């Protein structure tokens, strides 16, 4: 496996590691994510049927509104949320969920924004380690 390093913008700083679950399509958590299991339930989404629990979710941004924050908070409380989220820009709904989860449950998660060109290098199955300064160490699957 090849290792690469990328530097992102830590919107919410933190350390995490996990297997990447990657989509180039935005995701709506309202009706598109089952907070009880971590399954992506939006049947029109490319990740439909995949489970994001304990993974590094890589999506360009959310689709929808503040309900994303509410659904993600329930997933964090239930233990079915991703360990980190990587986007292409600051996503305020993801950031709000992490901040509130840190206050309510002491379980915030890293949120990293990557340039679109770096974002395009990530693939489902990559092992990603995130450091609090925004560095991503990626072991790419072949």
Owner of token pair 């300064």: 133
Q: What positions carry a catalytic annotation?
A: 65
pLDDT in tens, the chain (142 residues): 689 999 999 999 999 999 999 999 999 999 899 999 999 999 999 999 999 999 999 999 998 778 899 999 999 999 999 999 999 999 999 999 999 999 999 999 999 999 999 999 999 999 999 999 999 999 987 6
Number of domains in the chain: 1
- What pLDDT is recorded for position 129? 98
20/109 Cα distance (integer angstroms): 15
CATH code, 72: 3.50.30.10
24/33 Cα distance (integer angstroms): 17
Domain around 61: 2-140
- What pLDDT is recorded for position 56? 98
């Amino acid at each position: 496996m090849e290792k690469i390093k990328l530097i992102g913008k830590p919107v919410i700083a933190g350390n995490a590691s996990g297997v990447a679950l990657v989509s180039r399509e935005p995701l709506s958590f309202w009706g598109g994510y089952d907070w009880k299991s971590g399954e992506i339930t939006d049947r029109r989404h490319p990740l439909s049927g995949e489970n994001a629990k304990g993974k590094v979710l890589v999506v360009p941004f959310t689709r929808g509104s503040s309900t994303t924050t509410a659904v993600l908070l329930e997933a964090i409380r239930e233990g079915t949320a991703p360990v980190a989220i990587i986007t292409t820009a600051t996503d305020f709904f993801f950031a709000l969920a992490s901040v509130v989860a840190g206050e309510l449950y002491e379980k915030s998660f890293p949120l990293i924004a990557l340039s679109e060109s770096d974002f395009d290098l990530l693939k489902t199955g990559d092992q990603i380690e995130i450091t609090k300064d925004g560095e991503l160490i990626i072991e790419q699957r072949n």
